[in-house]
Structure 1
């Protein structure tokens, strides 16, 4: 039985924001990873460390490969052929700025530092709006050339998700865990693995090119943890080493409110009714914690027999959580799920219909 839960950080209904990234060059690290991969925890940690010194770096984690032989809950996404197109055959390997060629994890930081020192070729202005009722996201990118560009410029729009908790395989050198926090998980390459043309022919300095998109977030994704990302690159003979990225952009789809730890926005203990209900075979259960707590979340059949334990006496920080329940191996019928902390206990009923 697969199981994972998603840390949700905030909730708002509708907003529109405008962002402008200046002339500093914010490069990109694209790397392949998998929950089955024993060396991939080290790749994740290196990516995290890059953001400590280069916080504007765009990082995209492509989970794969899309094969029945590999068990990864995020290996299927629109545009997942990008793993093959970039020649990412060994896990984890990555490409930086589409100039480095395929690199092992030990070389990522050095390449990011070098490419971040280059002048940006494009300035990006982004307007976006999200409707939490329809889960529809609208994005408009206005890109200005900072010099004359004679190559075809392409633009990619990507939705990725942070704070997905799921078991990660590791080894003695690269320890994993049962509650590994996965970040930068690519959910949707909205306009395809290779993006689309932004400019063909000569793009004259200080002139504007615009693109707009509308996409809908899947109900299984936490909008509060999703980000929108864009990058502009020049189409060259090699996607990994001859297609230099000119600029990147990233931002939360739902803007964080307030200042401080976004996880501490819950004001009370709560357990929500699962959705959808009835369900087959997966459903989602939300709960909130106003403070750090020792938590258990267990599911029982109608006879009182425990059939699953999604959180087993673990300390969780204050916040809002989403647990995805996979009942593929269960029989149809009524089940009960119970959330228990030192200060709160609640039980609700769910129905599985196959």
Structure 2
């Protein structure tokens, strides 16, 4: 009878959820976005006051999610595989601005398509049911798909709202203006900017006002990108050469305080959202004739220089040695667009030569690549009387995070420090291989698996001493994320096997800290085995809630830094992948945390490879020396749950532990631990029931002679 009553309770609870789904409050965009000036000035950009809430919100669609729902289902505004749009509330008159926000649907498969989000179009006023969440620094609405909740088209406007006229100084006036947060997600236009920092990998650039103020153009739209989400066949976009004068650029504003371009970004959506007034020569395809340069070897530098609205009047190459004064060489063209010049040989071992190119057209418009060569060099090489090493490839003292050998083939030697047993690429784990030469700075590098020798590279094992010939690839976009790799391997020799791995470099968490892309004090440890000692988990979820990207914050009292838990093949998690056994929580501690230093999405982070990189896990710092007095199995939490829950148990002594899950009929449905040796202490195991139906389940613990069972409820 009790089972029957409980079953009715479950059914009633599920019915209640379905009914409640129709009563979410209707709020305005301002309700979600508003922050007072005093709060912004004191605390900076903070999560929405409705963060985590499920609400209904209305606004005018600024960009369609898809090119054509019937004939061309490519997304316009890229957000992974998600559907994405921006809306603006023209009726939000309570506060000044705070009327724009992004809407995103992550699950676009199967029944989730019943939201009909993909059918909305520009200038429609639409009501969305969303969960308010934060992605990095941007507030967004995640379309509710559990249960599937269709969007509602309220009306059709003749056009999208007119953009708000703003100046670059509204966003940056000698420093970032935190009060410009009120424009996040809003449609604006900026006029008469001058471009710089042209990125020929992504299509992004910086927009300057001539007074030191700037914002960035972000390539989220497929019409304005060079990345994989480019709308090929619908756009011929190329980023304007540095020095281009814009008549205007219009789009929505997004804030990004991490990565290599921190600040405010404007996202143009459609062709016509950027108009050029005057364009200087375009300098591209900069190459040197030698990958490795020996002492006294002259180096030929060539580039394509084109002027689309006139002709190239003059072109020059500037170079300097070891940070001295720049020397000028006139470039010559033998016809066509290719210009070249020669840097004389340098009679000095280990000299560093950096260089840039300059051009002027017949109208006097000038361009320079890179645009700030004194402070932001990007093209350089080392003069050596030996073959290059990993350290030479990785070395960059300028903070620009670009290898001097980017785009060239070289041969490197090292010991494999991580293989596909550590990063197998299954589930949420990454697929990576690393090698290292010694233990000092700049000594590690990732090995890519592209090319004809992919299978041979994938078969490498930790401890292999290898010689690899490959292409140095170091770009700002996925899949490199500014992490240098040797890829497209054309030659591979295993010199010996089962060699000892390099020792971990012990660092303080404050040495790496947060953000700081390219900072040589951090960048020197990229792809190197490092470890922290005596760390405490200060935040088990570095990005949420509700977001959780598998990263936590740890601190050894020198400053917080990130640890990435998803990529490696180990048993630890922060609920981003609860199929793993060990749930790390805020307040836990470790005697040691080791792994490889990685960089992605604006942050350096330690990536443990396997369970051996976690040493001395303490789940209760205040009672780390106290062992349980008796065996115990505790009620799971949360309960009811969907789809994951945590099971805690105590062991007063080391024991052989078996933990199994049974359905109400007594049939075994899952084995979490199978006669595994577990040390004395307080322990927890995560159980993920994604593949099981709603119902009552029993979990049974056997530890030596101790046996105990408890019930739990799965509600979907």
Q: How does the TM-score come out when normalised to structure 2?
A: 0.23
| Structure showing greater relative contact order (alpha-carbon pairs closer than 8 Å, 6 or more residues apart) | 1
Q: Which of these two proteins has the greater Rg computed from alpha carbons?
A: 2
Q: How does the TM-score come out when normalised to structure 1?
A: 0.41
